Every structure is written in C-alpha cells, then in structure tokens.
Amino acid sequence: MNAGARISGIALLDALERGEVRCAERGVDGAWRVNAWVKEEILAVFRSSQVVPMGLESPPSGAYLDKEPLAPRRFEPAQGVRIVPGGSAVRRGAFLARGVVVMPPAYVNIGAWIGEGTMVDSHALVGSCAQIGARCHISAAAQIGGVLEPANARPVVVEDDCFVGGNCGVYEGVLLRQGAVLASGVVLASGTVVHDCVRGVELRGTREAPLEIPEGAVVVPGTRPLRPDDPVARAWAEARGLQVACALIVKYRDERTDRATALEQALR
C-alpha cells in the first residue's frame, strides 16, 4: 500500500496486524525503503489517544496504563502463532506470521513485522517498527532496536534465516542480510566498526546508509586499539593499551554453522 492510499487510526493498526502494510519493505533491487507515512500515522495514534487502564483481563484490572487503542494483542489458534505463558506481550499494530513462537517473557512493540517460523526467545525485545524475516532465531535477552522518530529513519532489519545470539544488541537501522549470524554478545549500532577478516575490508555505516552485515556473515565481538585524532591523546591511549569495542566477521556460513544455529524443531 502506498502513501496515496494511506489509512489511519484503528484501520491502520488492523492493517499492520494483518501484514497488509509495513513500516519498511524490501524492493526488487534488494534495497530496504521506509514507508514514512506508516510511522507518521502510528505517531498520530499516540498523539490523539488517552491513557486508560489496560490489561488482558475483561474488564481490565487497571494494573497497566497505556494509550487507549494499544492493548496487547490476543491470538486465536487458527492464526498459528504460539505465545508461551509467562509474561510476554505483543502490542497492537505488530504482525506475527504463522509459526512464530514467543517465549516468556518477551515483548514485541507496535509496527514490528515478524516472518513465518521465527522464534523470539526469553527476555528478547523486538522494538517498534523492526522488521524480522522468516525462520530467524532472536535468542534470549537479545535486543532488536526500534525507531518511530524521525519518520524517515530506517528501523532495524533482520532478513530471513538470521541467527541473533543471546545478549546481542542490534540498533539504529542496522541491516542483517539473509543468513547472517551474530554470536552471543555482539552489539551493532550505526557507529560500530565491523572488520571483515575474510575479505579484508572494514564495514561502517553512514548517515545516508546504516551499517549492513553481508549475507551469511558470522560475526563475533571484538576490540580494536583506541586511536584518538589528537596526537597527545593517542599516545596516552597507546601507552595504556586502551581498546574500544568492534565486531569481527570471522567466516561465512557453512554446514557446521547451520548445525550450530538450527532451531530445535522438537520444541516448536
């Protein structure tokens, strides 16, 4: 749906939940483009709504307070989504495809899109407008950052068949191309420097193009020497062996990687 057919309010939330509109979409050229009007209309819902008692109970217990239209979603068996008991919540306006599993406690925010067969594990967050592909595993305590403002800012995008390890953080519009693997503890943001040790190049994001992790890359946490521009500060840092965090691509996916990151089908 394009901006010429834009919808608003409850109709927009319903369309988001059905997957008919998205906050960002991949074009035939492989580039991801933001549907800024969708994010603008989500922001309009916040501005025009009152805070009311909220909860899964009927009538609501009043234990929670949120904007009136944004109650947690309820799912029917026919939708094929599995929400395991234990404190998880999926906010209105989020799309979960068939076969998605949400382990407790986890949270999926408004505008998020999660593809078929993906698992969102315990203590994981899928932020507002984040786009998660099919057959991904968002491991325990992983944080997929969200963004509503500015409206033209690209959310985090995780393409199909990616594995995001435990305690990872992916923020500020970073794009994980299909099949990328993040080892536990990797943190990626727009300013993160990624050293591709296989191809011998450095990957960096810019204001115009956020950081992009190549298809099938296997990324682990790393450090690099701290080298300030000022010569005195650099000498001081070098004398102390100071390091700053970075990320390292140590290989590209192979059969061994696929075995190590395979979802446990018996639990699904």
State how far the Cα of 176 lies from the Cα of 161, in Å rounded to an integer. Answer: 10
Helix (H, G, I), strand (E, B) or coil at 265: helix
Lowest mean pLDDT across 31-45, 46-60, 109-123:
46-60
Mean of pLDDT values over 216-244: 96
What CATH number was assigned to the domain covering residues 87-267?
Answer: 2.160.10.10
The yes-or-no verdict on residue 255 having pLDDT over 90 is: no
- The structure tokens 């790393």 sit at 222
pTM, two decimal places = 0.93
User: What is the pLDDT, as a whole number, of residue 61?
Assistant: 62
The yes-or-no verdict on residue 90 having pLDDT over 90 is: yes
- Domain assignments of the chain as residue spans, ordered by start: 87-267
pLDDT category of residue 57 using cuts at 50, 70 and 90: low
User: What is the pLDDT, as a whole number, of residue 211?
Assistant: 97
Contacts of residue 190, Cβ cutoff 8 Å, sequence gap at least 6: 171, 172, 173, 174, 205, 210, 211
User: What is the pLDDT, as a whole number, of residue 194?
Assistant: 98
Mean of pLDDT values over 128-157: 96
The yes-or-no verdict on residue 264 having pLDDT over 70 is: no
State how far the Cα of 192 lies from the Cα of 245, in Å rounded to an integer. Answer: 8
139 and 122 in contact (C-beta within 8 Å)? no
The yes-or-no verdict on residue 3 having pLDDT over 70 is: no
> Which residues make beta-bridge pairs with 218?
181, 251
Smallest Cα–Cα separation from 153: which of 138, 174, 133, 170? 174
Q: How high is the mean pLDDT of the chain?
A: 93
Which carries the bigger pLDDT value, residue 38 or residue 262? Answer: 38
State how far the Cα of 151 lies from the Cα of 159, in Å rounded to an integer. Answer: 21
pLDDT category of residue 233 using cuts at 50, 70 and 90: very high
The yes-or-no verdict on residue 128 having pLDDT over 70 is: yes
Lowest mean pLDDT across 28-37, 188-197, 200-209:
200-209
pLDDT in tens, 59-88: 666 678 899 999 899 999 999 999 999 989
pLDDT in tens, 27-46: 999 999 999 999 999 999 99
DSSP string of 2-68, one letter each residue? -GGG---HHHHHHHHHHTSS-SEEE-TTS-EEE-HHHHHHHHHHHHH--EEEE-SSSS--SSEEEET
DSSP summary character for residue 266 = G
Largest CA distance in the chain: 65
User: What is the pLDDT, as a whole number, of residue 56?
Assistant: 66
pLDDT category of residue 258 using cuts at 50, 70 and 90: confident
Contacts of residue 249, Cβ cutoff 8 Å, sequence gap at least 6: 194, 195, 196, 197, 198, 199, 203, 213, 214, 217, 218, 219
User: What is the pLDDT, as a whole number, of residue 259?
Assistant: 80
> Which residues make beta-bridge pairs with 52?
66
Which carries the bigger pLDDT value, residue 55 or residue 90? Answer: 90
pLDDT in tens, 207-229: 888 999 999 999 999 999 999 99
181 and 168 in contact (C-beta within 8 Å)? no
Q: Strands 243-252, 217-225: parallel, antiparallel or unpaired by DSSP?
A: antiparallel
The yes-or-no verdict on residue 265 having pLDDT over 70 is: no
Helix (H, G, I), strand (E, B) or coil at 157: strand
